[in-house]
Chains A and B, each alone.
Chain A
Amino acid sequence: GAVVSQHPSWVICKSGTSVKIECRSLDFQATTMFWYRQFPKQSLMLMATSNEGSKATYEQGVEKDKFLINHASLTLSTLTVTSAHPEDSSFYICSARGLAGGGELFFGEGSRLTVL
């Protein structure tokens, strides 16, 4: 199946700093990518839809100025957590849908962010 890769897989940062997470579709082009956040023992929560060449669409309650999303090419979307605080510590997962196919999404391995 199609491969989606995230980097870094884990990151530790100090409170107040910004962290960038990359999501790449390795063997297909993705016009749309999705970013999720998952807290321990909870389900995935959709944060935003990232569209190539246009602004991201954020879900209700997600601060767009805090979670900056850029989808500059058909194979790369980035999520930047700005001025991170301990409550932003979470597992961030991206997914992508190819230009063709049966509608299934392919997910990255996830990035675990710990803010001290």
Chain B
Amino acid sequence: DAKTTQPPSMDCAEGRAANLPCNHSTISGNEYVYWYRQIHSQGPQYIIHGLKNNETNEMASLIITEDRKSSTLILPHATLRDTAVYYCIGRGLSGTYKYIFGTGTRLKVLA
């Protein structure tokens, strides 16, 4: 599974877009990029995942660079409830499916 690197913390004003970067320069061709978030004292929540194309769902957008060495999770209109730790994980769709969590980015949305 690819090693990922994320900034430890970020602030974002409420209503503005939150752009969370992730570096995964060692990702292999068949490894997907998954994003999860963890709100304080809760289990992680799935957000989105992608392989090489940009993805969008009701929660967020995922932009993956053409060389796949990095990606950005975009929360288009951040709210106070989006304050959480966001984890970027690289893994394949075969094998044991175990997810290894890095340190994540602690996003604080400010009123």
Chain A residue, CB-CB nearest to B92: A103
A43 on the B face (CB < 8 A) = yes
Roughly how many angstroms separate A95 CA and B34 CA in the complex, as a whole number? Answer: 15
User: Contacts A93-B43, A110-B41 hold; do A43 and B49 have CB atoms under 8 A apart?
Assistant: no
Of the stretches B18-26, B65-73, B96-104, the one at the interface is B96-104
Interface residue A28 (Cβ < 8 Å from any Cβ of B): no
Size bracket, chain B contacts: 20 to 34
Most buried by B among A4, A43, A91: A43
A32 within 8 A of B: yes
Q: Cα distance A49–B100 when bound, in Å?
A: 12
Q: Which listed residue, A46, A57, A91, A110, touches B99 by the CB 8 Å rule?
A: A46
With contact pairs A93-B44, A112-B41 given, residues A103 and B101 touching in the complex (Cβ less than 8 Å): no
**Would you call B91 an interface residue if the criterion is a C-beta within 8 Å of the partner chain's C-beta atoms?**
yes
Which of chain A's residues have a CB closer than 8 A to the CB of B45? 107
Separation of A46 and B99 alpha carbons in the complex (Å): 8
Interface size on A, residues (CB 8 A): 26
Question: Chain B interface mostly helix, strand, loop or mixed?
Answer: loop
Contact A105 B97 (CB under 8 A): yes
Residue of B nearest to A40 (CB): B41
Interface residues of B in 50-95 (CB under 8 A from A): 87, 91, 93
Residues A103 and B100 in contact, CB atoms below 8 Å apart: no
Question: CB-CB contacts of A89-112 with B at 8 A, as 1s and 0s?
Answer: 001010101000011111111101
A-B residue pairs, 6 tightest by C-beta = A107-B43, A44-B101, A107-B44, A103-B93, A43-B101, A104-B46
Interface residues, chain A, with chain B CB atoms under 8 Å away: 1, 4, 6, 32, 34, 36, 43-46, 49, 57, 91, 93, 95, 97, 102-110, 112
Residues of B within 8 A of A (CB): 32, 34, 36, 38, 41-46, 49, 87, 91, 93, 96-104
